[in-house]
Structure 1
């Protein structure tokens, strides 16, 4: 019995060592393909081109740059929000580019690359209002999508404000449009759509309430692949190619009219709150 238990323990140890020694980057090179997981429904990050039905976007261009640097072909795999981390952990994708904001809980399950996007949580007000900074709204009425990170951020940054929550962003925006609230909080990239659709009748408070860092997801204990992806992001930052990709999908000539507020070689971290002074 003791010998049998010892044999089982030895086999388990060997399996553990073999797993730890696995090199995903080498496997990708051997396979000749990098499998990149994306949402496929999150414009402008990854979405179907209406004309060709091909999945395109900001995430796709970054995954293509990573594949090119490794010297392999790119294969995209669309997935749901709920499936993102399980698909990565279960090795069905090599890299995850799926609007993956950093949280300590997620960091226990997967490894994050350096930042490839920073989602700015901003307050939106009517263009003719006198509000110009966060603390102008310290005791105002503010709308937010129910259960969202936006709701949590405004509760922390403006604890004396009256917060009205709604089932979805369009409903929260409608409350602002109908003057039921003084401001709405939402990620800038989503709120920008409402501004574009309403003929610039609204404006942002320039200072963000919070900054959410997004990283690409890599399975844990894959240092070679993590180093390779980070090296690509650093190259994109230093060469200016990353700025071009950002401008192509999110820049000031697009519907989002955004400026790149981050560097690809900056480490991801907990959201940064910008409370009213």
Structure 2
């Protein structure tokens, strides 16, 4: 009886060690699908294409490149800003491409790939308002997506302001459009699209609140997967395919007219915060 128990205990220990050492990259290849988490409401990064009713955008093309290099099918999973990191940590997605700005706090929970976008975080106000500088908004009402880095930047740069958080970027913008708040903080690229879509008159406060590096999120302790995704980003950079993806969604022929000021193989770093003077 004791021998049987010892054997069972040994088998349980082996299985436990095997599970703990599981390789997520191997699991992805074994099942044949890569699940990539995105917001699904943040054009041009990830949004519902009216023509196909499928999620499309900059993030999706990058995730497709990653899946192709792995030799697997891509599966997209839309989620809220607040749910991004929990969904990744709990293993419901393999890779997170959800406008994920780098912060030291987030880096304690997840691993970041090299940079795939650099974002200016700016405050948007109505064009007929008297707000012209960050200092003017010191005691104002500001909207931000709940759980976003934008929320954090406002708290640090304008600690006296009243911050109202919303479930997603469209809701935060609607609060500004309906004059429920005085301004909204968001990535400049996303805020520009809201302005273009509504046709209403808004303006940016010239001084950016922060300059933020975005990386793709990978669960901690998955070195093989992290190396694989970084290898794809490096390939996209060196082949010029990454530039084509950037130009397709964000370049000078689009409504955003941006130039790519970063390389896909450069490390992410702490955001540059510019508090009100």
Q: Would you say the 8 A contact 2:208–2:274 is kept in 1?
A: yes
In the alignment, what sits opposite 2:77?
78
The 2-side partners of 1:68 and 1:122 are apart by 35
Q: Are 1:37 and 2:41 matched, yes or no?
A: no
Q: Are 1:88 and 2:88 matched, yes or no?
A: yes
Give the RMSD, CA atoms, in angstroms. 3.7
In the alignment, what sits opposite 1:260?
260
Deviations 1:113-158 (A, max 9, x none): 12222332113356689987656x4768564348664454244334
Which consecutive residues of structure 1, in runs of 5 or more, have no partner in the other structure?
none
The 2-side partners of 1:224 and 1:119 are apart by 28
1:170 corresponds to which of 171, 174, 177 = 174
In the alignment, what sits opposite 1:48?
48
The 1-side partners of 2:4 and 2:106 are apart by 38
- TM-score scaled to structure 2, two decimals? 0.75
Which consecutive residues of structure 2, in runs of 5 or more, have no partner in the other structure?
167-171
Q: Could you say what secondary structure the match of 1:22 adopts?
A: coil
Deviations 1:194-217 (A, max 9, x none): 432566854434442113333222
Q: Could you say what secondary structure the match of 1:35 adopts?
A: strand
In the alignment, what sits opposite 1:19?
19
Q: Could you say what secondary structure the match of 1:144 adopts?
A: strand
Deviations 1:60-91 (A, max 9, x none): 10011112222x13221324225544443444
- TM-score scaled to structure 1, two decimals? 0.75
- Segment drifting more, 8-17 vs 227-236: 8-17
Query: Residues 225, 186 of structure 1: CA spacing in aligned structure 2 closer, same or farther, 3 A cutoff?
Result: closer
Q: Would you say the 8 A contact 2:25–2:224 is kept in 1?
A: yes
Q: Would you say the 8 A contact 2:67–2:74 is kept in 1?
A: no
The 2-side partners of 1:108 and 1:139 are apart by 31
The 2-side partners of 1:242 and 1:222 are apart by 24
Query: Residues 5, 185 of structure 1: CA spacing in aligned structure 2 closer, same or farther, 3 A cutoff?
Result: same
Query: Residues 240, 90 of structure 1: CA spacing in aligned structure 2 closer, same or farther, 3 A cutoff?
Result: same
Give the deviation of 1:9 after TM superposition.
6.9
Q: Are 1:226 and 2:226 matched, yes or no?
A: yes
Residues matched between the structures, number: 270
Query: Residues 10, 214 of structure 1: CA spacing in aligned structure 2 closer, same or farther, 3 A cutoff?
Result: farther
In the alignment, what sits opposite 1:196?
196
- Segment drifting more, 29-38 vs 8-17: 8-17
